[in-house]
């Protein structure tokens, strides 16, 4: 029925389309009132009373308190509680100290627990440099010394696992035992990740499918995600990752997601988090200078991350074992905290 309608010049059509897109974009920005961003002041600090601030979240964990200390030139935020041998816990990307909240009360019965937000995370400093894992391990080493500990047990998840390994490799004399959760230190296998996804990695009917880590590349593109991931776009992409990396899509609760999204909505948070990935090539080369770990090591993997972690530890940590948690995805602490607590108790005793 449109065959005989007046045809506009292509240039006019293009101008109208561009104008319409600009108007739609402006309307979307005006309607995008993100409560997580409104909870942040212009100085980048959480507003008093913000439900997702460290001060409010710590109220859920009686016996724990927030701490701040400068170490290796950066101010680090940590959450501390319990008595016994020191146990340092390092979270991953894109989460915060709160990812260990289901484990902390039980672990505090046996250990002096410190959950550390390392350089670039949460309420810790986000400098322009120093995101190679050797430097970040030194941050933790200096923090432990400043807190009065000559030797610690240390466990890390995801990016935290890369730092935990670097800590044990650089400071074996200051390491009792080390746990890596669902991630290894960057190594040559990272360079073999294909640019195109292998078959089956997006098959939602198979919760045990292999994963395709496309964000390893995206997070290294200078300035891109900091510009793209604003407001609802941040929620969209990160929630996709939270769904994709869990055994099921409800692996992380609504509140857990909101806590993490609030943290990564802060000024400089996206840039700092991306720096952890931009240093991977340097980390791979640094690994070649390390001797195999001399301290006892434990790997804990979900159904998809287990294989790569086991392979890495067999090669780089002779005194190690790796355990696979069934029906558990990447978010081990949130998905299967009791199994992780049990493994920690058996290993660190």
Distance CA 281, CA 286 (A): 9
Those residues with Cβ within 8 angstroms of residue 30's Cβ, 6 or more apart along the chain or in another chain:
none
Q: Which of 128, 44, 93 is nearest to 218 (CA)?
A: 93
Residue, of 42 and 240, whose pLDDT is higher: 240
pLDDT at 172 > cutoff 80 = yes
* Cα distance between residue 340 and residue 334, in whole Å: 10
> Is the pLDDT reported for residue 12 higher than 60?
no
Average pLDDT for 173-193:
97
**For residues 193 and 189, what is the distance between their CA atoms, to the nearest angstrom?**
7
Residue of 66, 63, 38 whose CA lies nearest to 50: 38
Q: What is the mean pLDDT of residues 100-120?
A: 98
Determine if residue 69 is left, alpha or beta; phi over 0 gives left, psi from -120 to 50 gives alpha, anything else beta. beta
The enclosing H or E element of 301 equals strand 297-301
Q: Among 11-15, 152-156, 286-290, which is the least confidently predicted range?
A: 11-15
Going by C-alpha positions, the residue among 113, 93, 117, 95 that lies closest to residue 103 is: 113
Looking at the predicted structure, is the pLDDT value of residue 238 above 80? yes
327-344 pLDDT tens trace:
999 999 999 999 999 999
Task: For residue 250, give every residue at least 6 positions away whose Cβ sits within 8 Å of its Cβ, in sequence order, or none.
Answer: none
> Bigger pLDDT: 251 or 26?
251
Where residue 51 falls among pLDDT bands split at 50, 70, 90? confident
Distance from C-alpha of 131 to C-alpha of 26, rounded to nearest angstrom: 36
Q: What is the pLDDT of residues 53-103, one digit of tens each?
A: 999 999 999 999 999 999 999 999 999 999 999 999 999 999 999 999 999
- Domain 54-348 of CATH type 3.40.50.2300: no
Q: At 255, is the pLDDT very low, low, confident or very high (cuts 50, 70, 90)?
A: very high
So what's the pLDDT on residue 28?
39
Q: Which residue has the higher pLDDT, 26 or 73?
A: 73
What's the pLDDT band for 267 if we cut at 50, 70, 90? confident
- pLDDT score of 252: 98
Residues 6+ apart with CB under 8 A from 175: 151, 152, 153, 154, 167, 168, 295
The CA radius of gyration of the chain, in Å to the nearest whole number, is 22
* Residue 85 parent element (H or E): strand 85-90
Start-to-end Cα distance in the chain: 79
Q: What is the pLDDT of residue 4?
A: 34
Q: Tell me: the pLDDT tens digits for 279-309?
A: 999 999 999 999 999 999 999 999 999 999 9
Per-residue pLDDT averaged across 171-178, rounded?
A: 98
pLDDT at 33: 34
Distance CA 129, CA 72 (A): 12
Domain residue ranges in the chain: 54-348
Mean pLDDT across 177-199: 97
Among 65-69, 109-113, 162-166, 263-267, the range scoring the smallest mean pLDDT is 263-267
- pLDDT over threshold 80, residue 175: yes
- With beta carbons less than 8 A apart as the criterion, state whether 298 and 321 touch: yes
Give phi and psi for 200, each to the nearest 5. 90, -10
Q: pLDDT tens-digit profile of 62-73?
A: 999 999 999 999
Position 15 scores a pLDDT of: 36
Angle, helix 232-245 to helix 254-264, in steps of 10 degrees:
130
pTM of the prediction?
Answer: 0.86
């Amino acid at each position: 029925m449109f065959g005989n309608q007046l045809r506009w010049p292509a240039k006019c059509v293009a101008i109208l389309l561009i104008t319409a897109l600009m108007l739609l974009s402006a309307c979307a920005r005006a309607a995008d009132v993100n409560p997580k961003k409104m909870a942040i002041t212009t100085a980048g600090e959480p507003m008093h009373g913000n439900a997702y601030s460290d001060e409010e979240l710590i109220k859920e964990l009686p016996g724990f308190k927030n701490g701040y200390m400068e170490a290796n030139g950066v101010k680090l935020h940590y959450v501390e509680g319990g008595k016994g041998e020191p146990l340092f816990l390092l979270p991953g990307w894109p989460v915060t100290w709160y990812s260990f909240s289901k484990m902390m009360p039980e672990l505090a019965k046996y250990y002096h627990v410190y959950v550390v937000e390392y350089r670039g995370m949460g309420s810790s400093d986000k400098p322009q440099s120093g995101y190679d894992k050797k430097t970040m391990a030194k941050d933790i080493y200096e923090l432990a010394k400043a807190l009065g500990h000559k030797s610690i047990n240390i466990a890390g998840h995801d990016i935290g696992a890369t730092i935990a390994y670097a800590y044990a490799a650089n400071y074996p004399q200051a390491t009792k035992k080390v746990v890596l959760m669902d991630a290894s230190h960057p190594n040559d296998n990272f360079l073999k990740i294909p640019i195109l996804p292998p078959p089956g990695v997006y098959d939602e009917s198979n919760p045990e499918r292999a994963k395709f880590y496309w964000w390893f590349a995206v997070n290294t593109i200078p300035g891109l995600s900091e510009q793209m991931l604003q407001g609802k776009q941040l929620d969209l992409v990160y929630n996709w990752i939270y769904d994709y990396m869990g055994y099921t899509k409800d692996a992380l609760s609504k509140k857990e997601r909101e806590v993490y999204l609030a943290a990564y909505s802060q000024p400089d948070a996206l840039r700092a988090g991306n720096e952890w990935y931009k240093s991977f090539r340097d980390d791979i080369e640094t690994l070649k200078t390390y001797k195999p770990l001399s301290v006892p090591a434990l790997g804990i993997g979900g159904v998809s991350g287990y294989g790569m972690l086991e392979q890495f530890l067999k090669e780089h940590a002779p005194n190690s074992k790796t355990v696979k948690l069934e029906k558990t995805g990447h978010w081990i602490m949130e998905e299967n905290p009791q199994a992780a607590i049990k493994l920690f108790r058996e290993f660190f005793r």
